[in-house]
């Protein structure tokens, strides 16, 4: 009897130690998410301010950047609010956590669509740059692109909102927020619902489980759709850029700088997108098969806190770096224009494009005859 009591006390102590470790682990995740979300808010708000000061009404090319950055700003504020809410204890914490998660689902999907919209716009810009000499045709194409872009912006906000209306309405009516703040659900995305069988009628439990899997499927489907769309745009942009490199027509140095920077943005924005959302997608797929937390889950929790809440920071970094490179290329082009002949400038551009020696010689000979 005494041995049983001693064994029970040991197991109880080990359980308490495990709970303390888990609490410390998720507290660390809370602080990681807080720091990354704060940096993301700073980065995205700086891009929003930049787009506003550039007067987005007079420059339509700034609009996709503005809406993507504004979406990143809202997402950063959402992550920041979650991190702050996790460490508090309020009477209505379950309701706040549940509805905040629904708002987060809307923001996730909107962010996916705004990213597609911006990368599509960069691809269209890259495609139209060499044909800007035909001003009338170019202006018609710009007007058409702007109309398509406005429709895409409206749908990027409307579709996620309509998709999440059932989760918001039915979830609150069925009281799916019961016990919602437990198991660290205020800080984790799409963690499995807690055991509510004793708290809710069986019908309500079924509705809540259905809504949980509905939200999970919508998120994964949106990510897969965004993934394949971005990959297609990336492949098209790379193919188009290679055609520009092999073309023998004459383009100015600044025009080549614009084309190069557009290609860089089309390449690096998808990289930032995949870095941000791949860990959480992998984590969701794993949790669907293994519900119990393992070391792999813990590692993915940390990656999720580091990457998912830093989308605004990464997008700001990509835009700032490419803009800096663009100004560098423009300065080099102006220095070359002051110190070199058009023939030497053309020769330098062909060698900088990285063509094979034979291709470079042939292209240079053609461009020489064009210039002369």
CATH topology of domain 1-192+202-336: Rhopdopsin 7-helix transmembrane proteins (1.20.1070)
More confident residue, 139 or 276: 276
Least confident span in 25-34, 42-51, 249-258, 319-328: 249-258
Percent above pLDDT 90 for the chain: 24
pLDDT tens across 169-203, in order? 988 888 887 766 665 667 777 665 554 444 455 55
Question: Cα–Cα distances in Å, from 110 out to 16, 86, 97, 201, 214?
Answer: 41, 24, 20, 34, 17
Neighbours of 27 (CB within 10 A): 14
More confident residue, 205 or 253: 205
Burial class (CB in 10 A: 0-12, 13-18, 19+), 198: exposed
- The pLDDT of 289-313, averaged and rounded, is 83
pLDDT tier, 55 (very low <50, low <70, confident <90, very high otherwise): confident
Give the number of other CB atoms < 10 A from CB of residue 118.
25
Q: Which two tokens stand for residue 294?
A: 């393992």
Using only C-alpha atoms, the chain has a radius of gyration, in whole angstroms, of 26
Q: What is the per-residue pLDDT for 195?
A: 46
**If you average pLDDT over residues 131-141, what whole number do you get?**
49
- Give the span between the Cα atoms of 31 and 182, in whole angstroms: 18
Select from 148, 129, 182 the least CA-distant residue to 23. 182
Cβ atoms of residues 99 and 172 within 8 Å: yes
Token digits for 95? Answer: 């309701």
Could you tell me which residues come within 8 angstroms of residue 284 by beta carbon, excluding any fewer than 6 positions away?
189, 190, 216, 219, 220
| 173 CB burial (10 A radius; 0-12, 13-18, 19+) | exposed
Output the pLDDT for position 365. Answer: 36
More confident residue, 204 or 228: 228
Residue tagged 């700003």 (tokens): 73
pLDDT reported for residue 97: 84
The pLDDT of 300-304, averaged and rounded, is 87
What residue spans define the domains of the chain?
A: 1-192+202-336
Nearest to 184 by CA among 267, 330, 301, 307: 301
Residue 192 gets which letter from DSSP? P
- Average pLDDT of every residue of the chain: 75
Position 362 scores a pLDDT of: 35
pLDDT at 87 over 90: no
> Which pLDDT value is given to residue 161?
93
Q: What is the sign of the dihedral through the CA atoms of 154, 157, 161 and 162?
A: positive
Q: How confident is the model at residue 357 (pLDDT cuts 50, 70, 90)?
A: very low
- Overall average pLDDT of the 327-332 stretch: 76
| pLDDT tens, position by position, 24-37 | 888 888 899 999 99
């Amino acid at each position: 009897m005494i041995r049983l009591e001693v064994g029970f006390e040991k197991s109880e102590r080990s359980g308490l130690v495990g709970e303390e470790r888990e609490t410390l682990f998720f507290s660390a995740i809370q602080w990681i998410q807080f720091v990354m979300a704060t940096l993301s808010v700073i980065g995205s708000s700086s891009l929003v301010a930049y787009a506003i000061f550039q007067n987005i009404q007079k420059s339509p090319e700034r609009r996709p950047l503005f809406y993507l950055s504004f979406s990143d700003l809202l997402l950063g504020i959402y992550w920041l609010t979650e991190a702050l809410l996790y460490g508090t204890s309020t009477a209505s914490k379950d309701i706040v956590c549940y509805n905040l998660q629904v708002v987060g689902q809307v923001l996730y999907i909107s962010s996916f669509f705004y990213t597609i919209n911006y990368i599509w716009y960069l691809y269209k810009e890259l495609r139209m740059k060499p044909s800007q000499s035909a001003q009338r045709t170019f202006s018609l194409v710009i007007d058409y692109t702007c109309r398509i872009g406005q429709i895409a912006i409206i749908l990027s906000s409307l579709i996620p909102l309509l998709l999440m209306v059932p989760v918001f309405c039915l979830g609150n009516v069925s009281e799916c927020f019961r016990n919602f703040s437990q198991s660290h659900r205020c800080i984790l995305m799409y963690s499995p619902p807690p055991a509510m069988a004793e708290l809710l009628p069986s019908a309500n439990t079924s509705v809540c489980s259905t809504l949980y899997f509905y939200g999970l499927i919508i998120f994964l489907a949106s990510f897969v759709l965004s993934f394949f769309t971005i990959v297609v745009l990336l492949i098209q942009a790379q193919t188009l850029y290679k055609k520009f490199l092999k073309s023998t027509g004459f383009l100015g140095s600044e025009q080549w700088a614009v084309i190069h920077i557009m290609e860089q943005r089309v390449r690096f924005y998808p990289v930032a997108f995949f870095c941000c959302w791949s860990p959480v997608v992998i984590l969701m797929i794993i949790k669907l098969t293994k519900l119990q937390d393992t070391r792999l889950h813990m590692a993915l929790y940390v990656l999720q806190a580091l990457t998912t809440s830093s989308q605004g920071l990464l997008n700001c970094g990509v835009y700032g770096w490419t803009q800096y490179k663009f100004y560098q290329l423009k300065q080099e082009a102006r220095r070359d224009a002051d110190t070199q002949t058009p023939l030497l400038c053309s020769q330098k551009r062909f060698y900088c494009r990285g063509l094979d020696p034979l291709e470079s010689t042939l292209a240079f000979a053609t461009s020489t005859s064009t210039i002369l």
